[in-house]
Amino acid sequence: MHKFNFQVNLEGIIDILSNHLYSEERVFIRELLQNATDAISARKRLDPAVEGEVSLEIIKKDGDTPAQLIVEDNGIGLTEKEVHEFLSNIGSSSKKDVLSLKRQDFIGQFGIGLLSCFMITQEIVMITKSFKGGRAIEWIGNSDGSYSIKSLEREFEPGTKIYLKAKPGKNLLFVPSKIQEIVRYYGDLLPYPVYLLNQYGKEIINEGIAPWEKYFDSKSEEKKEFLAFGKKHFDLDFIDYIPIKTSIGEAEGVAYILPYETNPSAKKTNKVFLKNMLVSEKVDNILPDWAFFVKCIINVHNLRPTASREGFYEDENLFQTKKEIGEIFKAYFLHLEKTNPEKLKKLYVIHYHSMNALALHDDEFFKIIINYIPFETASGHLTIPEFEKQTGIIRHIPDVDEFKQIAGVAYAQGIPIINSGYTYKRELLEKLEKVFPEKKVNQVSTEQFIEQFENLNDDELNQVDSFLKIAEETLLEFKCVPIIKKFDPANIPTLYSKDEFMGFLKSANKSKDVSSSLWGGIINSIANDGFTTANASLCFNFNSPLIKKIITVEDEEKSGLFIKVIYVQALMLGHHPLQAKEMKILSEGLVDLIDLSLH
């Protein structure tokens, strides 16, 4: 058996790292800032008195000479051995071994990050001098995978200096305004000043200190600065802010409450930093799923970044960080409930979808917010405490159209009901009974209301006997049975009621009317007579003047026509789907009624 060594194509590795690992080319600035920040942090461990700083300088000459960017830091620097470790062995994570420092003190990997520069240059020149002594080292790396190293005789201060010349087509990145924009985007919160050098001296670019790292003399001063910070980063005037500080993940930051409702499915734009360096504005797995009412700026120290450092691995630390942030949000609302209930009510009005989702997710929050949630009722929009003043039983109908049909009847009967057909409302009422077992929550239907209506006496039944027979024959083809009772208000002549299967059947038949022959045939096989044992009912209101007039019609043909038209009217009032034969009644029935009136 023969053994062979793998032949590593270093040029191919550079291509993968610089052109495929990162989502955009301007990320090379982030990588250079990361390396500089790591180097300064390493030196401060050995020399706490050092004032770390990073500087950038653009040199642009006339003619076709490419622009040059110089990035310098006064960090720990590298020895020749370390240069080989970091830059010759691509992907090495030996920074911990060489400097004997904890891995968590660093943002990235020096060698891999530096190679991102090949996206915008064909040659990287690095001059570095180690704080621990020795000569300065010059390392020159080329995009073809070759490199050279030599010692320099000249004296240098400890630190590292990177020289990059723009390759063709990349000059637009080597412009002071562009460099400032990129530095602020990625490194605005870096703990060390980042300067841009020019003919007038040096100008600081980054802000450096986030508001959660500052001390404030008053709560009003704190609020003013936090909200101004949010305005700067998101260009929005937020309603309020929630400071964030977790033990797991070592996250610090702020959540801003949006002044408008957001779509839960909309892309989140939270700014997440790793050790003060921006990871991404699109990290969507660090907040609870229900927290789509905020925009956040968060700096973490102990989460594991992906290879491109544009996101985080889904591990236990991330899970626990997300959980802690969720608890912070809930504590904020708990505090508001005690100190400023009017503000909590205002927030609910704006962010009711998020609040409802959180209430269903968390029992403690549910107990607070349930008293602020307005429900549509037959008496207008009421909260649960307001609704309970009217009745001891919380009745609800989980169908919007059915509620609209029965609301007027319920109000006239003095029976309060809630419309639970909107998003989360039925689930909230079902949870209400679970969290507070002493509360009685009943789901009701039109059929149950009809059962409670007043029956006719014997004389009244005799009056409607022939009418009911005609109605029974007329409604038979619609799988509907007639009922007659007395109920208020009198201006509602009928109520249509269906069971669940009948509702499906009507929708299926409606689909059959407009579908292809294949789909129509499938529906037809489902909706044949063998499956239509279930019936709907049409309850006629004996108190209605209209119904009393129709009852007196002796002509069976005319009476049948009136019944069909009233049947279709009941379907429309209840927002039920009309099939082809019912649409035909709607059009031809009106014509027939006009003809009757003319004759």
Query: CA quadruple 73, 76, 81, 87: dihedral positive or negative?
Result: negative
Domain assignment of residue 326, yes or no:
no
> CA-CA distance, 289 to 388, in Å (whole number)?
32
Q: Which of 204, 238, 267 is the last residue of a domain?
A: 204
* Residues 6+ away with beta carbon under 8 Å from 336: 343, 344, 347
Reported as a pLDDT band with limits 50, 70 and 90, residue 84 is confident
**Shared-domain flag, residues 23 and 81:** yes
Domain assignment of residue 481, yes or no:
yes
Lowest mean pLDDT among 167-171, 322-326, 386-390, 590-594: 590-594
Q: Where is pLDDT greater, at 540 or 95? A: 540
Residue 242 pLDDT exceeds 50: yes
pLDDT value, residue 230: 94
Residue 9 pLDDT exceeds 90: no
Q: How far apart are the first and last CA of the chain?
A: 108
Residue 86 pLDDT exceeds 80: no
Domain assignment of residue 469, yes or no:
yes
Query: How does pLDDT run across 149-182, given as a tens digit for each residue?
Result: 899 989 899 999 999 999 988 888 899 999 999 9
**Can you say how many angstroms the Cα of residue 126 is from the centroid of all Cα atoms in its chain?**
44
Lowest mean pLDDT among 95-104, 178-187, 272-281, 362-371: 95-104
Long-range contacts of 184-187 (CB under 8 A, 24+ apart): 185/278, 186/27, 186/29, 186/30, 186/33, 186/277, 186/278, 187/29, 187/30, 187/33, 187/37, 187/276, 187/277, 187/278
**Shared-domain flag, residues 196 and 265:** no
Q: Where is pLDDT greater, at 293 or 116? A: 293
Among 83-92, 109-118, 219-228, 380-389, name the most confident range: 219-228
> CA-CA distance, 493 to 347, in Å (whole number)?
43
Lowest mean pLDDT among 42-56, 207-221, 265-279, 463-477: 265-279
pLDDT value, residue 512: 44
- Domain containing 278 equals 211-312
**Shared-domain flag, residues 59 and 133:** yes
Alpha-carbon distance values, 240 to 51, 142, 258, 259, 332 (Å): 36, 51, 8, 9, 11
Cβ pair 495, 570 in contact under 8 A: yes
Residue 515 pLDDT exceeds 60: no
- Among 93, 104, 52, smallest CA distance to 76 is for 52
Bridging pattern class, strands 201-204 and 440-443: unpaired
**Shared-domain flag, residues 298 and 401:** no
pLDDT value, residue 208: 74
**Shared-domain flag, residues 401 and 257:** no
Proportion of the chain above pLDDT 70, given as a percent: 83
Q: Where is pLDDT greater, at 345 or 504? A: 345
The tally of domains found in the chain comes to 4
**Shared-domain flag, residues 76 and 154:** yes
**Shared-domain flag, residues 198 and 103:** yes
Helix (H, G, I), strand (E, B) or coil at 294: strand
Domain assignment of residue 98, yes or no:
yes
Give the pLDDT mean for 252-277: 86
* Residues 6+ away with beta carbon under 8 Å from 451: none
**Shared-domain flag, residues 215 and 197:** no
pLDDT value, residue 145: 76
Q: Which of 204, 228, 248 is the last residue of a domain?
A: 204
**Shared-domain flag, residues 195 and 223:** no
- The two structure tokens encoding residue 287: 């907040």
Cβ pair 204, 293 in contact under 8 A: no
Cβ pair 497, 446 in contact under 8 A: yes
Give the pLDDT mean for 32-53: 92
- Among 124, 201, 130, 138, smallest CA distance to 159 is for 130
CATH number at residue 302: 3.30.230.80
Q: Report the 3 state secondary structure along 457-526.
A: CHHHHHHHHHHHHHHHHHHHHHCEEEEEEECCCCCCCEEEECCHHHHHHHHHHHHHHHCCHHHHHHHHHH
Residues in the chain: 599
Give the pLDDT mean for 131-143: 89
Report the DSSP beta bridge partners of residue 377. Answer: 380, 418
Give the pLDDT mean for 517-529: 48
pLDDT value, residue 508: 43
Helix intervals (H) in 65-121: 80-83, 95-99, 110-115
Cβ pair 295, 281 in contact under 8 A: no
Residue 577 pLDDT exceeds 90: no
Please state the φ and ψ torsions of residue 245, each to the nearest 5 degrees: -155, 120
Rounded to the nearest 10 degrees, the angle between the axes of helix 556-573 and helix 580-598 is: 130
**Can you say how many angstroms the Cα of residue 279 is from the centroid of all Cα atoms in its chain?**
19
Instruction: Identify the residue whose tokens are 């461990």.
Output: 45
Reported as a pLDDT band with limits 50, 70 and 90, residue 19 is low
CATH number at residue 352: 3.40.50.11260
Q: Which of 417, 449, 481 is the last residue of a domain?
A: 449
pLDDT value, residue 22: 63
* Residues 6+ away with beta carbon under 8 Å from 522: none
Domain assignment of residue 1, yes or no:
no
Proportion of the chain above pLDDT 90, given as a percent: 42
The one-letter code for the residue type at 86 is F
pLDDT value, residue 4: 43
pLDDT value, residue 189: 92
Query: How does pLDDT run across 217-237, given as a tens digit for each residue?
Result: 999 999 999 999 999 999 999
Rg (CA), the chain: 37
CATH number at residue 473: 1.20.120.790
pLDDT value, residue 238: 96
**Shared-domain flag, residues 199 and 219:** no
Query: CA quadruple 278, 279, 281, 283: dihedral positive or negative?
Result: negative
**Averaged confidence pLDDT in the chain:** 83
> CA-CA distance, 188 to 208, in Å (whole number)?
6
Domain assignment of residue 321, yes or no:
no
Helix (H) or strand (E) holding 171: none
Among 48-57, 192-201, 351-360, 444-453, name the most confident range: 48-57
**Shared-domain flag, residues 88 and 199:** yes
Domain assignment of residue 457, yes or no:
yes
**Shared-domain flag, residues 84 and 95:** yes
Domain assignment of residue 370, yes or no:
yes
- Among 409, 418, 501, smallest CA distance to 451 is for 409
